[in-house]
Structure formats: structure tokens, C-alpha cells
Structure 1
Amino acid sequence: MFKSLSALALGLIVASGAPAVGAQSLTVVELFTSQGCSSCPPAEAFLGELARRPDVLAISEHVNYWDYLGWVDPFADDAITQRQRRYARRLGLNYVYTPQIVVRGQTQTTGADRTGVLKMIAQADPAISTDLRVTRAGENQLVIDLPAADVRDEVDVWLVEYDPEQTTSVDRGENRGRSIRGFNVVRNLERLTTWRGEPRTFSVVVDSLSTGGKCAILVQQADAGPILAAVRADTATPANSPIGERDGKQNLP
């Protein structure tokens, strides 16, 4: 099924009022992390390096299963933990762990494996563009235009809202006494719709846009499958514009 979805040539375009032009989709790099894990700060720093690459959407997703160790991660979200568990099953793992990096929903490795991560990014399936558009409509609204496509299985469209940088002083747990700096920290992960290839246009209100927030749109095979396309949606032009101590592991239930 993965080969047939890749052949859809899905892509994303940040659109203005002008006719659409091709734009390469970003390679999504997801770091599953926790402020309660002593192995994670170096992986956070590495993600910060990746976040500066124009061809990569690097996001930090905080899980909650290490909160019992003494420090409750303020960015942890059970929805993210469940996303990681779905990846584990899809990728053939019988456990979840931190720090873990997943590249385009296709491959995974430890966040300490810099060489492996860079290789996975370089070898990720190239994105091919089509007229899939994201347009700003007003201060805090996005309009998403999905063209007709030969989608054989369900595809999810996700909104990801994130903070470019966060620094937290940790006073309990494995990282006690440390100041942890995170990059592109996910604050909201929301499935907007399930798409089956029919042409569709819909809008979504993203309140954080009105205060300079950052967000992205992901198009992904359902149930944590390959990510087919991604774009930084906060940079969309308005439609009326003139222009390593240990790798923590936890068994799956």
C-alpha cells in the first residue's frame, strides 16, 4: 500500500492569490521526548539543528509515561503518547522509548543516532507537488484545498501547532538541576479530517496565528502511516495579498 500512496504525488503549496506553482514538501522529523528522561536533552539539541534546515519540519513531541519519575513534563500530552504507540506497532516495535526519532512516518531510530537520522532524511522518498493548497484567510484562519486524488485508503489531515523554542528549569527527577531547551515543541496535534480522495475545500480557525504562533499541516496515511506531504502553514500568504545516559523504554500493553 505504501508504494501506491507514494505514487499519488501528493504535495503541499503555500498559496497566494496568484496561480499555484510547485513546491517541494518538507521532510517531517518527529522527536518523541520527555523532560523526565536523562537521555533526551542531547536529542533536543540535535533537533534544534535540524529545525534550522529549510527542507525539514523538525518537531518535538513530549510523551507522558515518564512523569511518574518525579518531574511532570509541562508539554507532555497523552495524544502524543498514543501517536508514538501507533508508530511502534506500525514499525514493528513492541515497546516505546525516548528519545526516539521518526522520519516521515517511515523509519525510526534513537535520537542519539545522528548519522542514522541524517541518512534517513537523505533517503526519504522525495515529495512531488500537486495543487494541494493552504491559504491564509484573515488573521487566524487557514483554508485547505484538497484536489481529487486516487486515494485507495484513508488519509488523515493534521494540524500541528508548536512553539519555536521553550526553556524549562527542571527541579525534580532524572534531569534535576538542569535547564532544558526545546525546539518546535508541539502544543496541539489535531486531526482535522479524514480524506478519501474526493475534492474538498475547508477552513480551520487557528487562534495561535493571531499572536504569531507557528503551525503546520501534515497529510498522512491513516493510523500513523507514511507522511505524504507537509508544509509550514503559518507562512501561508493571505488570499487577498498582492504578492545519552540511557534510552528509556516502556513495553506496549
Structure 2
Amino acid sequence: MLARFLTATCAAAAALFASHAFAAAPRPVVVELFTSQGCSSCPPADRFLSELSDTRADVLPLAFHVTYWNQLGWKDPFSFDDADARQAQYAQRFRGFEYTPQMVIDGKAEVVGSNRAAAGMAIDHAKSLDVTAATVSATRAGGGVSVSIGPGTGRARVLLVGYDARHVTPIGRGENAGHTLTESNVVRGFAPIGEWSGTALTLHAGAVAGEHLAVLLEAADGAIVGAARVADAAEAPAQ
């Protein structure tokens, strides 16, 4: 009798552990840093973003390298026009002008990217709000991406972001001349791939440039209301 009780107890405990193990993790807080290799005040913010990447699985850091520093002696090889366009959208909601290093947290708050205390408070506040319109999961296979979005309320643009884990760049000219910069989660590709309107949705899209991919749900007011890192096919759980 006791053996049967212990067996049943162990089985129940194992089932409970398995349910927690395979439960969807809380979505990461999305931290976007607008930066440039030509900006002398940006390296401290870049280092902070690298620390977030290395130590915080609950944060999805993304470094958008803007182009408007390129004419001042050093062309940032990771800068691209879509980074400028994205920051310009945020400028309309926040300060009204673009600057570096600017850090935007979940699309709702902005701080100077090197201000660790302010950024940390904004990240903690976003975590406490836990604004998630729908669960998001995505898998990368071959040259494409499969995205699954659960049911929920509201509407959102579905954005696919590609980023490289880390780059080390010796800077030859400009404000950072003579320094070697280490930068993490450098965005290389960015594209809208669909619209979510509250019902469950599956999307298939071609992968954008970047070693790694993430999916964001962006509400009409710019708030990030869903996010997930894209798993490689080998990492996806068996169905």
C-alpha cells in the first residue's frame, strides 16, 4: 500500500515538474539601443547592452546602429537606414529628436543608454507590468521562419529582427579612433511580416539577415506587446 502511495506521489511530482518545464516562459523585455561606432558617448551603453545579453535571459537586447554619424570620419559597418527610421518613430513619441545612445524599453519608455540606473528601473517596471497581448513562438528551419501567435486582444504588427551575437571592431577614424569596440546583439535585418488581430495566427516568412532571429509584436502606439527569440529547428521541442 505504501509502495503504491509513493509511486503515485512520485508520478504526480514528475508530471508537475514536466508541466512547469514545458510551460511557456514569460516573454523577454525588449531593450532597443540606438547607437553608433562614430559616437564617443556610445561605448558605455554598448558595454551595458553586452552585459544584459550575457546575464539576463529575461531581456532581449537589440542594438540598432544608426547612419547619421557616418559623415563624421567613420562609417559604421553595421548602420542601416531602417535603424534611422525606427528611431525616428520613437522620436515622435518621446523627446522629439534622435540622439545616441538612446535606449527604448518595450517601446514605452526611453532613457540615455549609458544610464544604468534609469535603464534598470525601466526594465524592472516593464517586467512588473508584464504586458503581453498574446504568446509568441517561432522556429527557424532552412531559409525560413515559422511563427505561431496565440489568441488575445488587440492588434499588432509582427516584426522579424535578425541580429549577430557579437562583433569586435577596431576603429580607425572619428571620435572613437584607436579604440576597439565590442558590441552585442547587433541588428542586421528588420522587416514586418504580418498583422495580428486577436485570433491565433501562423505565419511563414523568409529569414532576414543575422545569426539569430527574434519576433516582436508591436501595437499601434509603438508598445511591444509580445516577443520571442526564434529557436533553430534542432532546438524546437518534439511535437
Alignment of 1:1-253 (within 5 A): 21-52=23-54, 53-91=56-94, 93-124=95-126, 125-128=129-132, 130-136=134-140, 138-151=141-154, 154-206=155-207, 213-222=211-220, 225-235=222-232, 242=238
SS at match of 1:116: helix
Root-mean-square deviation (CA), in Å?
A: 2.2
Q: Once structures 1 and 2 are overlaid, which stretch shifts more, 116-125 or 127-136? A: 127-136
Note the C-alpha offset of 1:103.
Answer: 0.6
Show structure 1 runs of 5+ residues with no match.
Answer: 1-19, 244-253
Structure 2: where are the runs of 5+ without partners? 1-21
Structure 1: 4+ residue segments shifted above 4 A? 127-131, 235-239
Q: TM-score, normalised by structure 2?
A: 0.82
Cα displacement (A) at 1:208 = 5.9
TM-score computed with the length of structure 1 as normaliser: 0.78
Amino acid at match of 2:170: S
Q: CA deviation at 1:207?
A: 6.7
Q: Distance in 2 between matches of 1:142 and 1:165?
A: 22
Q: Aligned equivalents of 1:193 and 1:130: distance in 2?
A: 15
Number of residue pairs the alignment of both structures matches: 215
Cα contact 2:146–2:205 (8 A) shared by 1: yes
Amino acid at match of 2:202: T
Deviation at 1:176, TM superposition (A): 1.1
* Amino acid across the alignment from 1:35: Q
Note if contact 2:43-2:181 (Cα within 8 Å) is conserved in structure 1: yes
SS of 1:98's equivalent?
A: coil
Q: Which has the higher helix share?
A: 2
Question: 2:189, 2:209 within 8 Å by CA — same for their partners in 1?
Answer: no
Cα pair 1:135 1:237 within 8 Å, conserved: no
Change (3 A) 1:65 1:139: same
Q: Whose Rg is larger?
A: 2
Question: In 2, distance between residues paired with 1:103 and 1:29?
Answer: 5
RCO comparison, higher one (Cα < 8 Å, 6+): 1
SS at match of 1:101: strand
Question: What do residues 190-216 of structure 1 show as CA deviations (whole Å, max 9, x unaligned)?
Answer: 11112222432221232768xxx2111
Q: Is the 8 A contact 1:22 1:130 kept in 2?
A: no
Task: Give me the identity figure in percent.
Answer: 38
